[in-house]
Amino acid sequence: MNLFKRIVNKLTNQPEEEEKQSLEKLGDSLKNADLDYKFAQLFTHSGGFFNYCADEAEALQTLNQIVKIEGISNVFCWDKELQNFLNVVKIPYTSEMDPSNDTAFITCEYLIAYDGRIMLSHNNILHYHSSRLPGKIIIMANVSQIVNNLNDAMGKIKRNGNIKNLTSISGGKSSLDTSSNTNTKLFLLLLED
């Protein structure tokens, strides 16, 4: 790749060709793998932190470790079930986004195995644009939310109806909001159903 193209890609936060090709090669090599394994490999390859949890007790323990290691002190979390986890870990949270939030603890719509992306909607992040989320995001999801590709996810969303403001994030980078949050740390707690 020539130097000029590399500089332009860096300035616009576009992934370099080599990174894209590397992800595509990994995806091709995993085309016959189980969806959960493929998703985990591509998600971590793109910079995300993947944590498999056999049950809620293990998820709680993993959440507590993330909170301690990352020095998390104030979380945006509007989901009542997730707030119960935060109450056990004894971390302050707000139901509305606040500048003091250093982390968001949210759910997601689907996990896309094809490229390791996570699909979010207004159900997960309320009315907030994904670029407004804090620099650390912890997502709790179930194995049953893994779908093969974007078409499968969109088909399920159409059947469920009334889901709007879709976006997707991958690893540490949002695929739609490339101009912001380039240093986002994305943690996934994947629970067995």
User: How does pLDDT run across 121-179, given as a tens digit for each residue?
Assistant: 988 998 888 888 999 999 999 999 999 999 999 999 888 876 788 888 887 554 444 44
The residues spanned by each domain of the chain are 3-191
E strand or H helix at 139, and its extent?
Answer: strand 136-142
pTM above 0.75, yes or no: yes
Query: Tell me, what amino acid is at 193?
Result: D
Phi, psi of 131 (to 5 degrees): -70, -15
What pLDDT shows up at residue 128?
Answer: 87
What pLDDT shows up at residue 190?
Answer: 97
Question: Mean pLDDT over all residues of the chain?
Answer: 84
Give the range among 14-23, 67-76, 111-120 with minimum mean pLDDT. 14-23
Q: How many CA atoms lie within 13 A of 167 on its CB side?
A: 21
Classify the C-alpha dihedral 104-109-112-115 as positive or negative: negative
In angstroms, the CA 144 to CA 19 distance is 29
pLDDT band at residue 90 under the 50/70/90 scheme: very high
CATH architecture of 3-191: 3-Layer(aba) Sandwich (3.40)
Give the range among 38-42, 50-54, 142-146, 179-183 with minimum mean pLDDT. 179-183
What pLDDT shows up at residue 92?
Answer: 96
Greater model confidence, 76 or 180: 76
